[in-house]
Amino acid sequence: MILGVSGPYGAGKGEVVAYLEARSFYAFSLSDVIRDELRARGESETRERMIELGTALRAEHGPAALAKRLIAKLEPDRNYVIDSIRHPAEVEALRTHARGFRLIWVDADPALRIERLRSRGRPGDPETLPKLLEQEGRERSGGGAAAQQLDAVAALADFRVRNEGALAALHAEIQRVLGACQGFERPSWDEYFLDVAQMVASRSNCVKRHVGAVIARDKRIISTGYNGTPRGTRNCNEGGCPRCNGFAESGTRLDECLCSHGEENAIVQAAYHGVAVRGGTIYTTFFPCLFCTKLIINAGILEVVYDAAYALDTRAESLLHEANVVVRRVERERDR
């Protein structure tokens, strides 16, 4: 769950962030990106300089520049709350690259907000209502494509929260938002096991291609394998396989290849550890070759689910069908 927070001065955005942070959300601010840049330049932080530099960064690197720098820091296994969103391009970038992003617009009557600003006494805050409205006027519609555009941000909000009463009322509103955001998507079992197979492939020591395979039964992983030279021998990336290190043309010099395939290793590793694969499903990042197909059939594996096809061996495919092994390709997000 990734929640963005935006709104005018004194609306209560900080209270929303604090409430979510206390509930295990990691808090980030696009303003921190500007602060980091100011420190790198050896400049002091003032509100006017923050606004100027933010506009300059958007003009130089694109209107979503601040959001893109922050997106790179987000981990997929955490909830986040992101403050200081002030441009519609930042909202669009977060929606595109941060799965599950929702924007909360927090607002309150200007007369109430100026009282809050006076109470907190932060340097740079407007001290009178006319000054508040004057500053907000510049930030609401902006002075160009790279300037702040709060009105455009407000129009993109998924949730609108009025903060004009007690804190308990604000907290109740945030709880309502949290309840509406709990319908997040989970990967299917096929996607899950193929993602694991992709990670398994990263352990491959083959210099030509990295392939990973996972054998699952009853939605439980029972074996994994990746391609590379046999146990106890020199790794392919250390010169262990003459064919791969010679970058032989596809389909040639196969008698020189010392690397075992990912599917082969997944089956062999199960045998090595005394784990039965009969009745299981093998998930592989590439369609299996003819040799691995014969192993799959004789091991009693009932289904092959693969990610990508390369030089698809029609003999392997027809043999799997003849042996009544189910073959499925799962369309990945990158294929869409």
Q: What's the CA gap between 40 and 1, in Å, rounded?
A: 31
**303 part of the active site:** no
Out of 90, 136, 139, 263, the active site residue is 263
- Number of H-type helices and E-type strands within the chain: 14, 10
* Beta-ladder partners of 160: 105
- E strands along the chain, which residues? 2-6, 26-29, 80-83, 101-107, 159-162, 212-217, 220-226, 281-286, 303-308, 326-329
Q: Any idea of the CA torsion for 240, 245, 251, 254, to the nearest 10 degrees?
A: -30
Task: Report which secondary-structure segment, H or E, holds 135.
Answer: helix 129-141
Q: What's the CA gap between 242 and 237, in Å, rounded?
A: 10
What are the CA-CA distances from residue 115 to residues 83, 105, 109, 132 (Å)?
A: 22, 20, 10, 11
Using only C-alpha atoms, what is the Rg of the chain? 28
> Does residue 117 contact residue 9 with C-beta atoms inside 8 Å?
yes
Q: Which are the catalytic amino acids?
A: 263
